[in-house]
């Protein structure tokens, strides 16, 4: 197919204080002030703790979830392909869209594959702007390359054994001591954080809540002092989960709020949303936990691509943003569920735009009849921008089905409505119409229209959509044997793929 679819006060522990001995001592010495329950508070939670809590080899599993992640092997193959083809921008986008998977691969392979092009690209992309030069992911890979010693290999072996045992059993204190000692000997903050986090997960799964909070807090201290605020925010969510399971509701609320604030303070609106963090934040949210009101204002830009306006509530903004990020990640079923969740809390034009977003998910899952049914309401809207966007999507669905004449007719209708000139996806629809004209046989007219659409995409900085459009055009021109034009497009693609 030619058309592309889509604050709790921390302890005073510093990095330099983390000797092998005091890390190991912490196993048997949980922070006592965390161990008491708030017996006078009988609060329910927004998401009741799952009856079972287990470790799947990478993360704790907090009950059932609608979230279905991408297949790791397919994702890795795609990133490697982008790297081999010199597609730096596309590689960066897919890495940032799947931050949690990228970090998992780095932490599991840094010692064994420090010179792998995939590892080097993951590390350079995720080396946080806040991290110190000797504390980021790239520095960790360099450490492994320079050391090339038993220290790095020992830690990797101990970590693998510990994580495997944790899936079935409760690793012993001896195993934990060995892991912590090895992490200190490696001497990199990310490895100390990793070891403490694994020990904390061990204790959380086993119900040793005060101990788990102690280890998570030590990891938070290292993360914050070494420039990894996003890791620190994730760890605060684990503190919150441990506290609420231990009925420490005040602590759970404070830890959760600190996690949200810390992550939000370091959110970069121009980068893909960290889906994993926000889904975990929802899972661990206490009943009294409120999403920050400023979220709706700050994330308004994330909703512009959907058409929603600034009147959207915080809940609508949150779930629509998560859903849109999931759609971009290719997680269409999860995106559909969360777009629906947002729509049930929206009203007016925002509800209509969110129905169009649901139809986009259904079309991506090859459920054209269901998508068309959802679009019937928006297509009949008195808001001309909404009706034009819905009509254009109907045209896109026809094109996907091979009905090029019908699809082109619907796109033409949407794009020539004089009262609908400003709706999200309009430039992409212009490009789709031009491609349809090329397929039908209106080659010269189609090329002129396509180049105008591509100029509009370039001017509006819609780089990903522009790349898709150019690649579609390249396939057509290669089929027609237009070598000179193909070279021109390849040059444009090369320019766009440079960071």
Instruction: Encode pLDDT of 279-294 as tens digits.
Output: 999 999 998 889 988 8
Q: Can you tell me the distance from the alpha carbon of 160 to that of 156, in angstroms, rounded to the nearest whole number? A: 6
**Which H helix or E strand runs over 55?**
strand 53-55
218: exposed, middle or buried (Cβ count in 10 Å: 0-12, 13-18, 19+)? buried
DSSP-based three-state secondary structure for 241: helix
Q: Are 135 and 190 in contact (CB under 8 A)?
A: yes
Give the pLDDT of residue 291.
92
Handedness of CA 101, 102, 106, 107 (dihedral sign): negative
> Would you state the pLDDT for residue 293?
86
pLDDT computed for residue 22 by the predictor: 41
Residue 391's alpha-carbon distances to 42, 87, 354, 426, in angstroms, are 52, 33, 15, 11
- Beta-strand relationship, 53-55 and 60-62: antiparallel
- CA-based nearest residue to 360, from 324, 385, 387, 329: 324
Residue 18: φ, ψ to 5°: -80, 75
Please determine, looking at this structure, whether the domain spanning 293-398 carries the CATH number 3.30.300.
Answer: no
Q: How many CB atoms lie within 10 A of CB 3?
A: 18
- Beta-bridge mates of residue 286: 45
C-alpha pair distances (Å), 460 with each of 301, 321, 390: 14, 20, 21
User: Would you list the DSSP string of 164-191?
Assistant: HHHHHS---HHHHHHHHHHHHHHT-HHH
Q: Are 245 and 255 in contact (CB under 8 A)?
A: no
pLDDT, tens only, 129-140? 666 788 999 999
Contact status, residue 243 vs residue 228, Cβ threshold 8 Å? no
Residue 60, pLDDT score: 56
How many Å separate Cα 295 from the centre of its chain? 17
At 396 the pLDDT is: 94
List, in sequence order, every residue forming a beta bridge with 62; answer none if it has no partner: 53
pLDDT score at 289? 85
Rounded Cα gap, residues 498 and 412, in angstroms: 34
Give the pLDDT confidence score for residue 34 in this predicted structure: 39
Give the three-state DSSP class for 307. Answer: coil
CA-nearest of 318, 335, 377 to 352 is: 377
pLDDT at 305: 86
Q: How far apart are CA 447 and CA 491, in angstroms?
A: 17
Count other Cβ atoms within 10 Å, centred on residue 351.
Answer: 17
Output DSSP code: residue 364: H
What pLDDT score does 479 carry? 87
How many Å apart are CA 230 and CA 33, to the nearest integer? 25
What DSSP line would sit under 199-239, residue for residue? Answer: HHHHHHHHT-HHHHHHHHHHHHHHHHHTT-HHHHHHHHHHH
Cα gap 236→213, rounded to integer Å: 9
pLDDT at residue 257, as a whole number: 95
Cα 207 from chain centroid? 29
pTM given for the model = 0.84
pLDDT of residue 368: 94
Cα(13)–Cα(215) distance, rounded to whole angstroms? 12
Among candidate residues 461, 458, 394, the one with its CA nearest the CA of residue 432: 394
Report residues of the chain scoring pLDDT below 50: 1-45, 49-52, 63-67
Q: What are the angstrom distances between the C-alpha of 118 and each of 136, 221, 335?
A: 16, 29, 28
SS3 145: helix
Enumerate the domain spans of the chain: 17-31+52-229, 293-398, 425-499
């Amino acid at each position: 197919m030619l058309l592309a679819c889509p604050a709790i006060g921390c302890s005073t522990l510093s990095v330099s204080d983390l000797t092998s001995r005091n890390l190991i001592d912490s196993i048997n010495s949980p922070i006592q002030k965390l161990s008491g329950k708030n017996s006078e508070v009988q609060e329910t939670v927004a998401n009741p703790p799952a009856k079972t809590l287990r470790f799947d080899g990478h993360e704790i599993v907090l009950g059932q979830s609608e979230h279905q992640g991408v297949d790791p092997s397919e994702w890795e193959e795609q990133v490697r392909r982008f790297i081999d083809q010199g597609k730096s921008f596309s590689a960066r986008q897919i890495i940032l869209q799947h931050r949690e998977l990228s970090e998992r691969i780095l932490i599991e392979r840094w010692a064994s594959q420090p010179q792998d092009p995939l590892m080097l690209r993951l590390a350079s992309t995720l080396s946080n702007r806040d991290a110190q030069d000797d504390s980021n992911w790239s520095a960790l890979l360099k450490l492994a390359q320079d050391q090339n010693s038993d220290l790095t290999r020992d830690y990797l072996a101990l970590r693998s054994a510990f994580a495997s045992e944790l899936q079935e059993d409760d690793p012993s204190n001896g195993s934990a001591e060995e892991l912590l000692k090895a992490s200190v000997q490696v001497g990199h903050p990310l490895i100390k954080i990793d070891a403490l986090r694994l020990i904390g997960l061990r204790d959380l799964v086993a119900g040793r809540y005060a101990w788990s909070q102690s280890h998570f807090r030590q990891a938070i201290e290292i993360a914050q002092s070494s420039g990894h605020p996003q890791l620190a925010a994730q760890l605060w969510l684990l503190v919150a989960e441990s506290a609420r399971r231990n009925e420490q509701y005040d602590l759970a609320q404070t830890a959760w709020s600190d996690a949200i604030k810390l992550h939000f303070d370091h959110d970069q609106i121009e980068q893909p949303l960290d889906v994993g963090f926000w889904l975990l934040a929802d899972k661990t949210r206490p009943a009294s936990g409120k999403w920050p009101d400023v979220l709706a204002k700050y994330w308004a830009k994330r909703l512009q691509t959907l058409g929603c306006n600034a009147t959207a509530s915080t809940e609508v903004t949150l779930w629509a943003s998560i859903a849109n990020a999931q759609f971009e990640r290719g997680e269409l079923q999860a995106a559909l569920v969360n777009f629906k969740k947002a729509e049930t809390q929206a009203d007016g034009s925002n509800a209509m735009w969110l129905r169009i977003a649901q139809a986009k998910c259904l079309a991506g899952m090859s459920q054209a009849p269901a998508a068309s049914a959802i679009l019937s309401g928006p297509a009949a809207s008195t808001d001309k921008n909404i009706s034009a966007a819905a009509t254009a999507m109907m045209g896109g669905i026809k094109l996907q089905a091979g009905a090029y004449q019908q699809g082109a007719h619907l796109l033409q209708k949407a794009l020539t409505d004089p009262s609908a000139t400003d709706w999200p996806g309009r430039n992409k629809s212009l490009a789709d119409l031009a491609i349809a004209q090329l397929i039908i046989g209106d080659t010269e007219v189609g090329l002129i229209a396509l180049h105008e659409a591509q100029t509009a995409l370039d001017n509006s900085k819609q780089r990903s959509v522009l790349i898709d459009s150019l690649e579609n055009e390249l396939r057509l021109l290669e089929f027609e044997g237009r070598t000179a034009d193909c070279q021109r497009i390849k040059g444009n693609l090369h320019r766009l793929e440079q960071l």
